[in-house]
Amino acid sequence: MFKGTAEELRARQEQAHELAKQATALLDQIDALGLGGSAGQLHTPGGIIRNRPGQGWTVATR
């Protein structure tokens, strides 16, 4: 469990969101290889990473 300040928590949440956005870029690159469709979503501290047909992977905040 996180035991820092509210400011530290916000900073870490922002960092987690940025990392989740980087993950979407990697997932789009994997899908572009054309080896089969990806489906679903990933729940992360940075938000929910979802595969949107025709739009690629996106990050949604909770």
> Any idea how long the chain is?
62
pTM (2 d.p.): 0.75
CB half-sphere exposure, 15, CA atoms < 13 A: 6
Average pLDDT over residues 25-46: 85
State how far the Cα of 44 lies from the Cα of 39, in Å rounded to an integer.
Answer: 16
pLDDT digits (tens, 9 = 90+) for 4-31: 999 999 999 999 999 999 999 999 998 8
State how far the Cα of 48 lies from the Cα of 5, in Å rounded to an integer.
Answer: 24
CA distances from 53 to 33, 34, 41, 57 (A): 16, 14, 12, 8
